[in-house]
Amino acid sequence: MVIEDKKVVLLHYTLTQGTEEGELIESTEGREPLGFIYGVGMMIPDFEANLKGLKAGDKFAFGIKAADAYGEYDESALVEVPKSMFEMEGKIPDGLLVQGNVIPLTDQQGNRFQGKVHSIQLETVMLDFNHPMAGVDLYFTGHVETVRDADPAELEHGHVHGPGGHHH
């Protein structure tokens, strides 16, 4: 069975920055495989495009440019906000505003998102709303473990059930 729309794919991969010899970002080796339903929008489109037509046992190695992965780094996604917006009962919680911390935020419409503390000034904080992998070229190596038909419940829920997927 080959990888195509509405197939469950279980695979192991190693993700490095830029090239196969680049800095290790993450790997599934020695852990559960990554499981996803092909063609339902769960994965980066170029990731799926590079897997189309492969079958269990096939190996893969390919790169994806930042612009086609999580986007280029966008300087306009750096936003300066007053420190006072982080106060709780008149005080900013200890350890909250530390460079590199990722802070969960909610806007006035109730939308949730995360901002990374980029820098801290006397009265303001610069938050970075870029995806953590923005501006990073990706390189994947690995192998396809299994390919099977997605069952109706998986298609309805939009994710894989069982090994490599969601456990209800």
Position 76 scores a pLDDT of 96
Tens of pLDDT, residue by residue over 153-168, are: 899 888 898 766 655 5
Where in the chain are the domains? 7-70+133-157, 75-128
Asked whether 91 and 141 are in contact (CB, 8 A), the reply is no
Residue 106 bridge partners (DSSP): 112
As given in the structure block, the two tokens for residue 86 are 């982080």
| Bridging pattern class, strands 59-64 and 112-120 | unpaired
Tens of pLDDT, residue by residue over 139-151, are: 999 999 999 999 9
Position 164 scores a pLDDT of 65
Tens of pLDDT, residue by residue over 74-131, are: 999 999 999 999 998 989 999 999 999 999 998 889 989 899 999 999 999 999 999 9
Position 108 scores a pLDDT of 87
Position 40 scores a pLDDT of 92
Question: Scanning the structure block, which residue is given the tokens 């794919």?
Answer: 9
Tens of pLDDT, residue by residue over 23-32, are: 999 999 999 9
> What share of the chain has pLDDT > 90, as a percent?
84
Tens of pLDDT, residue by residue over 83-99, are: 999 998 989 999 999 99
Whether this prediction's pTM lies above 0.85 is answered by: no
CATH class of 7-70+133-157: alpha beta
Distances (CA, A) of 34 to 12, 29, 51: 6, 10, 13
CATH class of 75-128: mainly beta
Position 162 scores a pLDDT of 76
